[in-house]
Amino acid sequence: MLGSFDAVLLARLQFAFTVSFHFLFPAFTIGLASYLAVLNGLWLYTKKQHYLDLFRYWIKIFALAFAMGVVSGIVMSYQFGTNWSVFADRAGPVIGAPMAYEVLSAFFLEAGFLGIMLFGRDRVGSTLHMVACLAVAFGTFFSAFWILSVNSWMQTPAGFSIDPETNQFMPEDFWQIVFNPSFPYRLAHTVTAAYLTTAFIVGGVGAWHLLRYKRRGDKPSQATKTMFSMAMWMATIVAPVQIFLGDAHGLNTMEHQPQKVMAMEGHFESHPEGWAPLYLFGIPNEETQTLDYAVGIPGLSSLILGHSFDAPIMGLDSIPDDEQPPVAIVFWSFRIMVALGFAMLGVGMWSLWARYRKRLYEAPWLHRAAVLMTPSGLVAVLAGWVTTEVGRQPYTVYGLLRTSDSAAPLEAAAVGATLVAFIVIYTAVFGAGTYYILRLMGHPPHTAEARYKDVVDGPTRTAGITPATEELMRRHTKEEE
Partner 1 sequence: MPIAEGVSFDLTLAWAMLIALSVLIYVILDGFDLGLGMLFAVEKDRKNRDVMMNSVAPVWDGNETWLILGGGGLFAAFPLAYATILPATYIPVIIMLLALIFRGVAFEFRWRTERWKPVWDAAFIGGSTLAAFAQGMILGALLQGLDIDKATRSYVGGGWGWLTPFSLFVGLAVVFGYALLGATWLVMKTEGPLQERMRKRARVLSVITVIFIGLVSIWTPFLQDGYFSRWFTGFGIGLAVLVALVTLLMLALLQLTLRSGGEEVWPFILSLALFALCFVGMGVSMFPYIVPTEITIYEAAAPRASQLFMIVGASVLIPIILIYTGLAYWVFRGKVDPEKGYH
Listed ranges 47-55, 204-212, 324-332, 410-418: which one lies at the site for partner 1 (CB under 8 A): 410-418
With CB under 8 A as the contact rule, which of the stretches 237-245, 291-299, 329-337, 456-464 interacts with partner 1?
A: 456-464
CA distance 13 to 1: 19
Spatial neighbors of 197 by CB under 8 A, at least 6 apart, are: 27, 28, 31, 377, 378, 380, 381
Minimum CB separation of residue 104 from partner 1 in Å reads: 4
- The CA distance from 80 to 151, in Å, is 12
Min dist CB 136 to partner 1, Å, is: 11
Q: Near partner 1 by CB under 8 A, which window of 252-260, 328-336, 373-381, 455-463?
A: 455-463
Q: Which stretch binds partner 1 (CB under 8 A): 191-199, 311-319, 335-343, 426-434?
A: 426-434
Of 385, 393, 276, give the one whose Cα is nearest residue 327.
393
| Binds partner 1 (CB under 8 A): choice among 452, 472, 473, 476 | 452
Binding to partner 1 (CB under 8 A) within 58-117 occurs at 63-64, 67-68, 70-75, 77-78, 80-82, 85-86, 88-94, 96-97, 99-105, 107-116
Does 420 help bind partner 1 (rule: CB under 8 A)?
no
Residues 6+ apart with CB under 8 A from 425: none
- Cβ–Cβ under 8 Å, residues 356 and 317: no
On whether the CB atoms of residues 256 and 250 are closer than 8 A, the answer is no
423 part of the interface to partner 1, by CB under 8 A: no
Residue 327 CB partners (closer than 8 Å, separation 6+):
263, 266, 268, 284, 286, 316
Helix (H) or strand (E) holding 469: helix 467-480
Closer residue to partner 1 in complex, CB, 74/468 = 74
Within positions 194 to 233, which residues make up the interface with partner 1, using CB under 8 A? none
Least distance to partner 1 from the beta carbon of 285, Å?
38
Stretch that binds partner 1, among 240-248, 249-257, 297-305, 447-455 (CB under 8 A): 447-455
Q: 8 to 67, contacts with partner 1 by CB under 8 A?
A: 63-64, 67
Which residue in 442, 472, 468 sits closest to 456, CA to CA? 442
**∠ at Cα 13 (99, 376), nearest 5°?**
80
Task: Give the nearer residue to partner 1 in terms of CB position, either 65 or 238.
Answer: 65
**Binding residue (CB under 8 A) for partner 1 from 41, 171, 240, 394:** 171
- Residue 146 or 334 with smaller CB distance to partner 1: 146
- Ramachandran sector of residue 61 (left: φ over 0; alpha: ψ -120 to 50; beta: rest): alpha
Distance, CA of 46 to CA of 291 (rounded, Å): 58
Please, how many CA atoms are within 13 Å of residue 311, restricted to the half-sphere of its CB?
14
Which ranges constitute the DSSP H helices of 179-268? 183-216, 222-256, 258-265
Whole-angstrom distance, CA of residue 292 vs CA of residue 285: 7
Q: Which of 425, 427, 431, 466 binds partner 1 (CB under 8 A)?
A: 425
Minimum CB separation from partner 1 for residue 108, in Å?
5
Q: How many residues bind partner 1 (CB under 8 A)?
A: 82
Q: Which is nearer to partner 1, 352 or 419 (CB)?
A: 419
Contact 220, 213 (CB under 8 A): yes
For residue 394, say if its preceding peptide bond is cis, omega within 30 degrees of 0. Answer: yes
Question: Which of the stretches 43-51, 193-201, 331-339, 461-469 binds partner 1 when contact is defined by CB under 8 A?
Answer: 461-469
- Binding segment for partner 1 (CB under 8 A), chosen from 35-43, 221-229, 260-268, 406-414, is 406-414
Least distance (Å) between residue 4 CB and partner 1: 13
400 sits near partner 1 (criterion: CB under 8 A) = no
Q: Based on CB atoms, which residue is closest to partner 1, 91 or 205?
A: 91
d(CA 142, CA 342): 28
Residues 355-384, interacting with partner 1 (CB under 8 A): none
